[in-house]
Protein backbone atom coordinates (compact mmCIF):
# COMPACT_ATOMS: atom_id res chain seq x y z
CA UNK A 1 0.00 0.00 0.00
CA UNK A 2 1.47 3.39 -0.94
CA UNK A 3 1.53 6.52 1.29
CA UNK A 4 -1.27 8.18 -0.66
CA UNK A 5 -3.79 5.36 -0.19
CA UNK A 6 -2.73 4.91 3.45
CA UNK A 7 -3.48 8.65 4.07
CA UNK A 8 -6.85 8.19 2.39
CA UNK A 9 -7.60 5.28 4.74
CA UNK A 10 -6.78 7.39 7.78
CA UNK A 11 -9.07 10.20 6.59
CA UNK A 12 -11.88 7.66 6.00
CA UNK A 13 -11.31 6.21 9.50
CA UNK A 14 -11.54 9.69 11.10
CA UNK A 15 -14.67 10.49 9.11
CA UNK A 16 -16.31 7.23 10.19
CA UNK A 17 -15.41 8.00 13.81
CA UNK A 18 -16.87 11.53 13.61
CA UNK A 19 -20.07 10.32 11.91
CA UNK A 20 -20.52 7.52 14.49
CA UNK A 21 -19.91 9.89 17.40
CA UNK A 22 -22.36 12.43 15.94
CA UNK A 23 -24.98 9.71 15.58
CA UNK A 24 -24.45 8.56 19.17
CA UNK A 25 -24.70 12.14 20.46
CA UNK A 26 -27.84 12.75 18.34
CA UNK A 27 -29.53 9.63 19.70
CA UNK A 28 -28.51 10.60 23.24
CA UNK A 29 -29.96 14.13 22.68
CA UNK A 30 -33.33 12.73 21.62
CA UNK A 31 -33.44 10.23 24.50
CA UNK A 32 -32.68 13.05 27.01
CA UNK A 33 -35.29 15.28 25.37
CA UNK A 34 -37.95 12.59 25.77
CA UNK A 35 -36.99 11.98 29.38
CA UNK A 36 -37.00 15.71 30.21
CA UNK A 37 -40.39 16.14 28.55
CA UNK A 38 -41.82 13.41 30.73
CA UNK A 39 -40.47 15.20 33.81
CA UNK A 40 -41.84 18.56 32.58
CA UNK A 41 -45.27 17.01 32.03
CA UNK A 42 -45.22 15.62 35.56
CA UNK A 43 -44.22 19.05 36.87
CA UNK A 44 -46.92 20.73 34.75
CA UNK A 45 -49.57 18.34 36.07
CA UNK A 46 -48.72 19.18 39.69
CA UNK A 47 -48.60 22.91 38.90
CA UNK A 48 -51.94 23.11 37.10
CA UNK A 49 -53.65 21.11 39.84
CA UNK A 50 -52.45 23.71 42.38
CA UNK A 51 -53.53 26.84 40.48
CA UNK A 52 -57.08 26.67 41.92
CA UNK A 53 -55.59 27.15 45.41
CA UNK A 54 -53.88 30.37 44.28
CA UNK A 55 -57.22 31.86 43.16
CA UNK A 56 -59.57 33.36 45.77
CA UNK A 57 -62.55 31.17 46.73
CA UNK A 58 -65.45 31.50 44.27
CA UNK A 59 -63.34 33.64 41.99
CA UNK A 60 -65.11 32.49 38.83
CA UNK A 61 -68.60 32.85 40.27
CA UNK A 62 -68.61 36.56 41.10
CA UNK A 63 -67.70 39.75 39.35
CA UNK A 64 -64.28 40.94 40.46
CA UNK A 65 -63.02 44.43 40.94
CA UNK A 66 -59.92 45.61 39.10
CA UNK A 67 -58.13 45.57 42.41
CA UNK A 68 -59.07 41.93 43.03
CA UNK A 69 -58.08 41.05 39.43
CA UNK A 70 -54.68 42.75 39.87
CA UNK A 71 -54.19 40.82 43.09
CA UNK A 72 -54.94 37.58 41.32
CA UNK A 73 -52.56 38.26 38.40
CA UNK A 74 -49.87 39.27 40.87
CA UNK A 75 -50.33 36.06 42.87
CA UNK A 76 -50.23 34.01 39.67
CA UNK A 77 -47.07 35.85 38.55
CA UNK A 78 -45.37 35.24 41.89
CA UNK A 79 -46.35 31.58 41.94
CA UNK A 80 -45.13 31.03 38.34
CA UNK A 81 -41.80 32.71 39.08
CA UNK A 82 -41.39 30.69 42.29
CA UNK A 83 -41.99 27.40 40.52
CA UNK A 84 -40.00 28.22 37.37
CA UNK A 85 -42.94 28.41 34.94
CA UNK A 86 -43.41 31.12 32.36
CA UNK A 87 -47.15 31.67 32.82
CA UNK A 88 -49.92 30.52 35.12
CA UNK A 89 -53.42 31.35 33.96
CA UNK A 90 -57.04 30.40 34.26
CA UNK A 91 -59.50 30.41 31.36
CA UNK A 92 -63.31 30.66 31.40
CA UNK A 93 -65.96 31.12 28.78
CA UNK A 94 -67.66 34.54 28.76
CA UNK A 95 -71.31 35.14 28.12
CA UNK A 96 -70.44 36.42 24.63
CA UNK A 97 -68.98 32.97 23.85
CA UNK A 98 -65.34 34.15 23.84
CA UNK A 99 -62.68 32.79 26.16
CA UNK A 100 -61.27 35.03 28.85
CA UNK A 101 -58.19 34.55 30.98
CA UNK A 102 -56.58 35.84 34.14
CA UNK A 103 -52.91 35.30 33.62
CA UNK A 104 -49.64 35.93 35.34
CA UNK A 105 -48.76 38.13 32.38
CA UNK A 106 -51.91 40.29 32.38
CA UNK A 107 -51.88 43.91 33.52
CA UNK A 108 -54.72 45.45 31.54
CA UNK A 109 -57.40 44.99 34.17
CA UNK A 110 -59.03 48.33 33.43
CA UNK A 111 -60.07 47.23 29.95
CA UNK A 112 -61.78 43.97 31.02
CA UNK A 113 -62.71 44.27 34.64
CA UNK A 114 -65.21 41.46 34.62
CA UNK A 115 -63.60 38.52 32.93
CA UNK A 116 -60.04 39.53 32.90
CA UNK A 117 -58.76 39.66 29.29
CA UNK A 118 -59.81 38.03 26.08
CA UNK A 119 -58.00 34.83 25.11
CA UNK A 120 -57.37 35.36 21.45
CA UNK A 121 -57.05 32.56 18.92
CA UNK A 122 -57.48 29.76 21.44
CA UNK A 123 -56.34 26.27 20.45
CA UNK A 124 -59.39 24.21 19.31
CA UNK A 125 -58.36 21.48 21.74
CA UNK A 126 -58.53 24.01 24.56
CA UNK A 127 -62.04 25.03 23.51
CA UNK A 128 -63.04 21.39 23.30
CA UNK A 129 -61.61 20.66 26.76
CA UNK A 130 -63.52 23.55 28.32
CA UNK A 131 -66.74 22.59 26.56
CA UNK A 132 -66.79 18.83 26.50
CA UNK A 133 -63.90 17.74 28.69
CA UNK A 134 -64.48 15.77 31.88
CA UNK A 135 -63.49 17.07 35.31
CA UNK A 136 -59.73 16.84 35.93
CA UNK A 137 -59.07 15.95 32.29
CA UNK A 138 -55.66 17.24 31.25
CA UNK A 139 -54.30 18.44 27.92
CA UNK A 140 -50.70 19.01 26.89
CA UNK A 141 -49.27 20.55 23.80
CA UNK A 142 -46.34 22.44 22.30
CA UNK A 143 -46.70 25.95 21.25
CA UNK A 144 -44.05 27.58 19.15
CA UNK A 145 -44.76 31.23 18.46
CA UNK A 146 -42.91 34.49 18.45
CA UNK A 147 -42.96 34.47 22.25
CA UNK A 148 -40.97 31.28 22.28
CA UNK A 149 -41.13 27.55 22.53
CA UNK A 150 -43.71 26.51 25.17
CA UNK A 151 -45.13 23.36 26.59
CA UNK A 152 -48.73 24.08 27.64
CA UNK A 153 -50.61 22.03 30.21
CA UNK A 154 -54.32 22.60 31.09
CA UNK A 155 -56.77 20.88 33.44
CA UNK A 156 -60.53 21.22 33.53
CA UNK A 157 -62.05 22.18 36.88
CA UNK A 158 -65.40 23.43 38.22
CA UNK A 159 -66.03 26.46 40.47
CA UNK A 160 -68.23 26.27 43.61
CA UNK A 161 -71.18 27.32 41.49
CA UNK A 162 -70.38 24.57 38.95
CA UNK A 163 -68.87 26.84 36.30
CA UNK A 164 -66.22 25.13 34.18
CA UNK A 165 -62.81 26.76 33.98
CA UNK A 166 -59.31 25.73 32.94
CA UNK A 167 -56.16 26.02 35.03
CA UNK A 168 -53.18 26.29 32.72
CA UNK A 169 -49.43 26.69 32.89
CA UNK A 170 -46.76 27.38 30.24
CA UNK A 171 -43.28 26.00 30.55
CA UNK A 172 -40.53 27.70 28.58
CA UNK A 173 -38.82 24.92 26.66
CA UNK A 174 -36.14 27.08 25.05
CA UNK A 175 -34.01 27.06 28.21
CA UNK A 176 -34.28 23.30 28.52
CA UNK A 177 -33.50 22.82 24.82
CA UNK A 178 -30.52 25.15 25.05
CA UNK A 179 -29.22 23.19 28.03
CA UNK A 180 -29.63 19.91 26.16
CA UNK A 181 -27.87 21.32 23.10
CA UNK A 182 -24.98 22.60 25.23
CA UNK A 183 -24.68 19.18 26.87
CA UNK A 184 -24.62 17.48 23.44
CA UNK A 185 -21.91 19.80 22.16
CA UNK A 186 -19.98 19.12 25.36
CA UNK A 187 -20.34 15.38 24.73
CA UNK A 188 -19.13 15.80 21.17
CA UNK A 189 -16.07 17.69 22.39
CA UNK A 190 -15.37 14.94 24.96
CA UNK A 191 -15.45 12.29 22.23
CA UNK A 192 -13.10 14.30 20.03
CA UNK A 193 -10.77 14.81 23.01
CA UNK A 194 -10.95 11.06 23.57
CA UNK A 195 -9.69 10.59 20.02
CA UNK A 196 -6.80 12.91 20.83
CA UNK A 197 -6.02 10.80 23.92
CA UNK A 198 -6.14 7.60 21.84
CA UNK A 199 -4.02 9.09 19.05
CA UNK A 200 -0.64 8.47 20.81
CA UNK A 201 -1.53 4.76 20.96
CA UNK A 202 -2.48 4.74 17.27
CA UNK A 203 0.76 6.54 16.45
CA UNK A 204 2.78 4.03 18.51
CA UNK A 205 1.00 1.14 16.76
CA UNK A 206 1.71 2.63 13.33
CA UNK A 207 5.38 3.11 14.14
CA UNK A 208 5.59 -0.48 15.47
CA UNK A 209 3.89 -1.77 12.29
CA UNK A 210 6.32 0.20 10.12
CA UNK A 211 9.22 -1.31 12.04
CA UNK A 212 7.70 -4.79 11.72
CA UNK A 213 7.18 -4.28 8.00
CA UNK A 214 10.80 -3.16 7.57
CA UNK A 215 11.92 -6.24 9.44
CA UNK A 216 9.70 -8.45 7.26
CA UNK A 217 11.01 -6.84 4.08
CA UNK A 218 14.55 -7.47 5.32
CA UNK A 219 13.68 -11.11 6.08
CA UNK A 220 12.07 -11.53 2.65
CA UNK A 221 15.17 -10.04 0.96
CA UNK A 222 17.40 -12.44 2.92
CA UNK A 223 15.19 -15.42 2.09
CA UNK A 224 15.04 -14.42 -1.59
CA UNK A 225 18.83 -14.22 -1.69
CA UNK A 226 19.09 -17.61 0.05
CA UNK A 227 16.56 -19.14 -2.34
CA UNK A 228 18.31 -17.62 -5.33
CA UNK A 229 21.54 -19.17 -4.14
CA UNK A 230 19.81 -22.52 -3.54
CA UNK A 231 18.20 -22.34 -6.99
CA UNK A 232 21.56 -21.67 -8.63
CA UNK A 233 23.06 -24.60 -6.72
CA UNK A 234 20.14 -26.83 -7.74
CA UNK A 235 20.44 -25.69 -11.35
CA UNK A 236 24.15 -26.44 -11.28
CA UNK A 237 23.43 -29.85 -9.73
CA UNK A 238 20.75 -30.56 -12.33
CA UNK A 239 23.12 -29.49 -15.08
CA UNK A 240 25.78 -31.80 -13.65
CA UNK A 241 23.20 -34.62 -13.45
CA UNK A 242 22.14 -34.10 -17.05
CA UNK A 243 25.73 -33.93 -18.23
CA UNK A 244 26.54 -37.05 -16.25
CA UNK A 245 23.53 -38.92 -17.63
CA UNK A 246 24.24 -37.81 -21.18
CA UNK A 247 27.89 -38.84 -21.06
CA UNK A 248 27.15 -42.04 -19.10
CA UNK A 249 24.41 -43.06 -21.50
CA UNK A 250 26.78 -42.45 -24.38
CA UNK A 251 29.50 -44.45 -22.63
CA UNK A 252 27.06 -47.26 -21.78
CA UNK A 253 25.27 -47.36 -25.11
CA UNK A 254 28.42 -48.04 -27.15
CA UNK A 255 29.45 -51.22 -25.30
CA UNK A 256 25.77 -52.20 -24.97
CA UNK A 257 25.25 -52.03 -28.70
CA UNK A 258 28.24 -54.29 -29.11
CA UNK A 259 26.83 -56.71 -26.50
CA UNK A 260 23.37 -56.68 -28.14
CA UNK A 261 24.81 -57.03 -31.65
CA UNK A 262 27.25 -59.85 -30.87
CA UNK A 263 24.79 -61.73 -28.63
CA UNK A 264 22.19 -61.48 -31.42
CA UNK A 265 24.69 -62.92 -33.90
CA UNK A 266 25.53 -65.70 -31.43
CA UNK A 267 21.90 -66.60 -30.60
CA UNK A 268 21.01 -66.60 -34.28
CA UNK A 269 24.17 -68.69 -34.95
CA UNK A 270 25.05 -66.26 -37.73
CA UNK A 271 28.59 -67.58 -38.09
CA UNK A 272 27.81 -71.25 -37.74
CA UNK A 273 26.18 -73.51 -35.14
CA UNK A 274 27.21 -73.54 -31.51
CA UNK A 275 28.49 -76.80 -30.10
CA UNK A 276 26.95 -76.52 -26.69
CA UNK A 277 23.24 -75.62 -26.61
CA UNK A 278 23.72 -74.14 -23.12
CA UNK A 279 25.83 -71.36 -24.70
CA UNK A 280 22.99 -70.69 -27.15
CA UNK A 281 20.57 -70.21 -24.27
CA UNK A 282 23.04 -67.90 -22.45
CA UNK A 283 23.51 -65.83 -25.63
CA UNK A 284 19.71 -65.39 -25.76
CA UNK A 285 19.69 -64.20 -22.12
CA UNK A 286 22.56 -61.79 -22.78
CA UNK A 287 20.65 -60.36 -25.75
CA UNK A 288 17.35 -59.88 -23.82
CA UNK A 289 19.11 -58.37 -20.81
CA UNK A 290 21.13 -56.05 -23.04
CA UNK A 291 17.99 -54.80 -24.79
CA UNK A 292 16.27 -54.26 -21.45
CA UNK A 293 19.25 -52.28 -20.20
CA UNK A 294 19.23 -50.16 -23.37
CA UNK A 295 15.50 -49.38 -22.95
CA UNK A 296 16.14 -48.43 -19.34
CA UNK A 297 19.01 -46.14 -20.23
CA UNK A 298 17.03 -44.51 -23.03
CA UNK A 299 14.01 -43.97 -20.73
CA UNK A 300 16.14 -42.49 -17.95
CA UNK A 301 17.80 -40.14 -20.37
CA UNK A 302 14.48 -39.05 -21.93
CA UNK A 303 12.89 -38.50 -18.53
CA UNK A 304 15.80 -36.54 -17.12
CA UNK A 305 15.82 -34.33 -20.21
CA UNK A 306 12.10 -33.65 -19.87
CA UNK A 307 12.27 -33.04 -16.12
CA UNK A 308 15.13 -30.57 -16.43
CA UNK A 309 13.34 -28.81 -19.34
CA UNK A 310 16.39 -29.54 -21.48
CA UNK A 311 14.30 -31.26 -24.11
CA UNK A 312 13.34 -28.95 -26.95
CA UNK A 313 9.87 -29.56 -28.31
CA UNK A 314 10.23 -30.22 -32.03
CA UNK A 315 6.58 -29.50 -32.70
CA UNK A 316 5.09 -29.65 -36.16
CA UNK A 317 1.61 -30.10 -37.66
CA UNK A 318 1.10 -33.83 -37.21
CA UNK A 319 -1.50 -36.24 -38.48
CA UNK A 320 -2.05 -38.19 -35.27
CA UNK A 321 -4.11 -40.89 -37.00
CA UNK A 322 -1.05 -41.75 -39.11
CA UNK A 323 1.12 -41.84 -35.95
CA UNK A 324 -1.42 -44.16 -34.32
CA UNK A 325 -1.51 -46.50 -37.32
CA UNK A 326 2.31 -46.64 -37.28
CA UNK A 327 2.25 -47.54 -33.56
CA UNK A 328 -0.43 -50.18 -34.09
CA UNK A 329 1.76 -51.79 -36.72
CA UNK A 330 4.73 -51.85 -34.34
CA UNK A 331 2.83 -53.30 -31.38
CA UNK A 332 1.13 -55.79 -33.67
CA UNK A 333 4.55 -57.43 -33.98
CA UNK A 334 4.97 -57.82 -30.18
CA UNK A 335 5.23 -61.50 -29.12
CA UNK A 336 1.90 -61.72 -27.23
CA UNK A 337 -0.06 -59.21 -29.37
CA UNK A 338 -1.49 -61.96 -31.58
CA UNK A 339 -3.29 -63.53 -28.60
CA UNK A 340 -5.40 -60.35 -28.08
CA UNK A 341 -7.91 -58.50 -30.18
CA UNK A 342 -6.82 -54.95 -31.06
CA UNK A 343 -9.58 -52.58 -32.22
CA UNK A 344 -9.24 -49.02 -33.44
CA UNK A 345 -11.81 -46.26 -33.89
CA UNK A 346 -10.44 -43.11 -35.44
CA UNK A 347 -12.85 -40.23 -36.18
CA UNK A 348 -13.13 -39.31 -39.83
CA UNK A 349 -11.32 -36.21 -41.09
CA UNK A 350 -9.45 -35.41 -37.88
CA UNK A 351 -7.58 -32.07 -37.83
CA UNK A 352 -3.79 -32.06 -37.49
CA UNK A 353 -2.26 -31.16 -34.12
CA UNK A 354 0.86 -29.14 -33.35
CA UNK A 355 2.92 -31.70 -31.40
CA UNK A 356 6.30 -33.38 -31.30
CA UNK A 357 5.49 -36.48 -33.39
CA UNK A 358 8.37 -38.54 -31.93
CA UNK A 359 7.17 -37.88 -28.36
CA UNK A 360 3.53 -38.62 -29.21
CA UNK A 361 4.62 -41.87 -30.80
CA UNK A 362 6.38 -42.75 -27.55
CA UNK A 363 3.20 -41.96 -25.57
CA UNK A 364 1.07 -44.19 -27.79
CA UNK A 365 3.65 -46.99 -27.80
CA UNK A 366 3.99 -46.92 -24.00
CA UNK A 367 0.20 -47.00 -23.47
CA UNK A 368 -0.36 -49.69 -26.10
CA UNK A 369 2.52 -51.89 -24.93
CA UNK A 370 1.25 -51.67 -21.34
CA UNK A 371 -2.28 -52.58 -22.50
CA UNK A 372 -0.92 -55.60 -24.38
CA UNK A 373 1.38 -56.52 -21.50
CA UNK A 374 -1.31 -56.39 -18.80
CA UNK A 375 -4.14 -58.03 -20.76
CA UNK A 376 -4.32 -61.83 -20.67
CA UNK A 377 -4.77 -63.82 -23.87
CA UNK A 378 -8.28 -63.50 -25.36
CA UNK A 379 -8.70 -59.92 -24.05
CA UNK A 380 -9.47 -56.82 -26.11
CA UNK A 381 -7.52 -53.60 -26.53
CA UNK A 382 -9.36 -50.71 -28.14
CA UNK A 383 -8.00 -47.37 -29.24
CA UNK A 384 -10.21 -44.35 -29.90
CA UNK A 385 -9.04 -41.03 -31.35
CA UNK A 386 -11.19 -37.97 -31.97
CA UNK A 387 -12.42 -34.58 -30.77
CA UNK A 388 -14.23 -34.29 -27.45
CA UNK A 389 -17.49 -32.35 -26.97
CA UNK A 390 -15.51 -29.54 -25.33
CA UNK A 391 -13.30 -29.32 -28.43
CA UNK A 392 -10.17 -31.09 -27.09
CA UNK A 393 -8.19 -33.53 -29.19
CA UNK A 394 -8.13 -36.86 -27.38
CA UNK A 395 -7.00 -40.46 -27.68
CA UNK A 396 -7.99 -43.32 -25.45
CA UNK A 397 -6.33 -46.70 -24.90
CA UNK A 398 -8.64 -49.17 -23.19
CA UNK A 399 -8.01 -52.78 -22.27
CA UNK A 400 -9.85 -55.63 -20.60
CA UNK A 401 -6.77 -56.58 -18.59
CA UNK A 402 -5.91 -57.10 -14.96
CA UNK A 403 -6.63 -53.53 -13.87
CA UNK A 404 -4.93 -51.44 -11.19
CA UNK A 405 -5.99 -51.32 -7.52
CA UNK A 406 -7.56 -47.90 -6.73
CA UNK A 407 -4.98 -47.13 -3.98
CA UNK A 408 -2.17 -47.56 -6.52
CA UNK A 409 -3.71 -45.41 -9.26
CA UNK A 410 -2.03 -42.20 -8.08
CA UNK A 411 1.38 -43.85 -7.88
CA UNK A 412 1.66 -45.29 -11.37
CA UNK A 413 2.86 -41.99 -12.88
CA UNK A 414 5.79 -41.84 -10.43
CA UNK A 415 9.14 -43.02 -11.84
CA UNK A 416 10.12 -46.63 -11.05
CA UNK A 417 6.65 -47.54 -9.81
CA UNK A 418 5.42 -51.00 -10.66
CA UNK A 419 2.28 -52.43 -9.18
CA UNK A 420 3.20 -55.87 -7.93
CA UNK A 421 1.04 -58.43 -9.76
CA UNK A 422 1.17 -61.63 -11.77
CA UNK A 423 1.92 -59.81 -15.02
CA UNK A 424 4.71 -57.60 -13.68
CA UNK A 425 6.35 -60.72 -12.32
CA UNK A 426 6.31 -62.27 -15.77
CA UNK A 427 6.93 -59.23 -17.93
CA UNK A 428 9.91 -57.00 -17.87
CA UNK A 429 9.38 -53.33 -17.25
CA UNK A 430 11.33 -50.30 -16.08
CA UNK A 431 8.55 -48.52 -14.21
CA UNK A 432 9.41 -45.41 -16.25
CA UNK A 433 6.93 -45.69 -19.14
CA UNK A 434 3.99 -43.83 -17.56
CA UNK A 435 6.26 -41.26 -15.88
CA UNK A 436 7.56 -40.44 -19.37
CA UNK A 437 4.04 -40.31 -20.79
CA UNK A 438 2.96 -37.88 -18.08
CA UNK A 439 5.96 -35.61 -18.62
CA UNK A 440 5.44 -35.55 -22.40
CA UNK A 441 1.76 -34.67 -22.04
CA UNK A 442 2.62 -32.00 -19.48
CA UNK A 443 5.19 -30.65 -21.91
CA UNK A 444 2.37 -30.24 -24.45
CA UNK A 445 0.13 -28.58 -21.80
CA UNK A 446 -2.28 -31.50 -22.06
CA UNK A 447 -3.80 -33.84 -19.51
CA UNK A 448 -3.88 -37.60 -18.91
CA UNK A 449 -6.66 -39.37 -17.04
CA UNK A 450 -6.84 -42.97 -15.91
CA UNK A 451 -9.79 -45.14 -14.92
CA UNK A 452 -9.32 -48.70 -13.84
CA UNK A 453 -11.12 -51.56 -12.18
CA UNK A 454 -9.30 -54.54 -10.79
CA UNK A 455 -9.71 -57.63 -13.02
CA UNK A 456 -11.90 -55.68 -15.46
CA UNK A 457 -9.59 -53.36 -17.32
CA UNK A 458 -7.90 -50.00 -17.55
CA UNK A 459 -8.54 -46.90 -19.63
CA UNK A 460 -5.99 -44.12 -20.25
CA UNK A 461 -7.27 -40.94 -21.95
CA UNK A 462 -4.99 -38.17 -23.18
CA UNK A 463 -6.39 -34.70 -23.88
CA UNK A 464 -4.51 -32.12 -25.93
CA UNK A 465 -5.43 -28.42 -25.59
CA UNK A 466 -7.56 -26.63 -28.18
CA UNK A 467 -4.66 -24.28 -29.05
CA UNK A 468 -2.77 -27.22 -30.56
CA UNK A 469 -5.56 -28.15 -32.98
CA UNK A 470 -5.35 -26.91 -36.55
CA UNK A 471 -8.23 -24.69 -37.64
CA UNK A 472 -9.70 -24.50 -41.13
CA UNK A 473 -7.42 -21.62 -42.19
CA UNK A 474 -4.39 -23.73 -41.25
CA UNK A 475 -3.58 -22.07 -37.90
CA UNK A 476 -4.44 -22.97 -34.34
P1 LIG B 1 6.35 -50.63 -16.71
O2 LIG B 1 7.60 -50.52 -17.47
O3 LIG B 1 6.47 -51.43 -15.48
O4 LIG B 1 5.19 -50.98 -17.54
P5 LIG B 1 4.96 -48.15 -16.47
O6 LIG B 1 5.39 -46.84 -15.91
O7 LIG B 1 4.62 -48.20 -17.91
O8 LIG B 1 6.10 -49.16 -16.15
O9 LIG B 1 3.77 -48.68 -15.65
C10 LIG B 1 3.80 -48.62 -14.24
C11 LIG B 1 2.91 -49.67 -13.64
O12 LIG B 1 1.54 -49.35 -13.88
C13 LIG B 1 3.07 -51.04 -14.29
O14 LIG B 1 4.13 -51.74 -13.65
C15 LIG B 1 1.71 -51.70 -14.01
O16 LIG B 1 1.71 -52.25 -12.71
C17 LIG B 1 0.76 -50.53 -14.05
N18 LIG B 1 0.08 -50.44 -15.35
C19 LIG B 1 0.37 -49.62 -16.36
N20 LIG B 1 -0.49 -49.79 -17.40
C21 LIG B 1 -1.35 -50.77 -17.02
C22 LIG B 1 -2.46 -51.43 -17.66
N23 LIG B 1 -2.89 -51.11 -18.87
N24 LIG B 1 -3.11 -52.39 -16.95
C25 LIG B 1 -2.70 -52.72 -15.70
N26 LIG B 1 -1.67 -52.15 -15.07
C27 LIG B 1 -0.98 -51.19 -15.72
pLDDT digits (tens, 9 = 90+) for 366-425: 999 999 999 999 999 999 999 998 889 999 999 999 999 998 898 899 887 777 765 665
User: Does residue 108 form part of some domain?
Assistant: yes
H helical segments located in 133-172: none
Q: How far apart are CA 141 and CA 374, in angstroms?
A: 100
Q: Which residues line ligand 1 (CB under 6 A)?
A: 366, 370-371, 374, 399, 401-404, 412, 417-419, 424, 429-435, 458
Count: domains in the chain: 2
User: Does residue 292 form part of some domain?
Assistant: no
3-state DSSP assignment of residue 352: coil
Domain boundary among 155, 178, 201: 178
Q: What is the pLDDT of residue 190?
A: 92
Atom 25, ligand 1: residue with shortest CA distance = 403
The residue segments making up the domain with residue 150 are: 3-178
Q: How far apart are CA 319 and CA 321, in angstroms?
A: 6
Atom 2, ligand 1: residue with shortest CA distance = 429
Q: What is the pLDDT of residue 243?
A: 73
Confidence of residue 262 (pLDDT cuts 50, 70, 90): very high
Q: How far is the CA of 405 from the centre of ligand 1 (A)?
A: 12
Confidence of residue 117 (pLDDT cuts 50, 70, 90): low
- The larger pLDDT score, comparing residue 431 to residue 36, is at 36
Q: How far is the CA of 302 from the centre of ligand 1 (A)?
A: 18
- To test the pocket of ligand 1, the residue of 337, 383, 412 to mutate (highest count of ligand atoms within 8 Å of its CB) is 412
User: Does residue 206 form part of some domain?
Assistant: no
Task: For residue range 340-356, list pLDDT tens digits in order.
Answer: 999 999 988 899 999 99
- Cα first-last separation, the chain: 42
Angle at 78 between CA 77 and CA 82, to 5 degrees: 120
Contact (CB, 8 A) for 451 and 380: no
Element (H, E) at 135: none
User: Does residue 350 form part of some domain?
Assistant: yes
Q: Is 458 exposed, middle or buried (0-12, 13-18, 19+ CB in 10 A)?
A: buried
CATH number at residue 461: 3.30.565.10
Q: How far apart are CA 56 and CA 68, in angstroms?
A: 9
Q: How far is the CA of 411 from the centre of ligand 1 (A)?
A: 10
CATH number at residue 77: 3.30.450
Q: How far is the CA of 259 from the centre of ligand 1 (A)?
A: 28
User: Does residue 220 form part of some domain?
Assistant: no
User: Does residue 172 form part of some domain?
Assistant: yes
pTM exceeds 0.85: no
Q: How far apart are CA 299 and CA 305, in angstroms?
A: 10
Which atom of ligand 1 is found nearest the CA of 457?
24
Amino acid sequence: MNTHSSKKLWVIAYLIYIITVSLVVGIEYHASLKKTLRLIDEKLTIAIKNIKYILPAGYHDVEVTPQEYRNVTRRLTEASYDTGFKFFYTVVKGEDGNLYEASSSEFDADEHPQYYSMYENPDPMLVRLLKEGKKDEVFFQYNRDREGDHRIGCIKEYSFAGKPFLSCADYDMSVMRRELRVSSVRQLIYYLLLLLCVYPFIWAYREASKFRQMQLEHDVRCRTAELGFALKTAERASQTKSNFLASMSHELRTPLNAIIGFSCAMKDEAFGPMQNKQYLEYAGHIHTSGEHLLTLINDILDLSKLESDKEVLKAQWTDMSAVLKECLEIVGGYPTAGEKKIEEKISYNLPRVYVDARMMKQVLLNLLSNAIKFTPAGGTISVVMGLSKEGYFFFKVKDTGIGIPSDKLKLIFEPFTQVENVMTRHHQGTGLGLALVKQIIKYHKGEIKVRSELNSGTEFTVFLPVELIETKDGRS
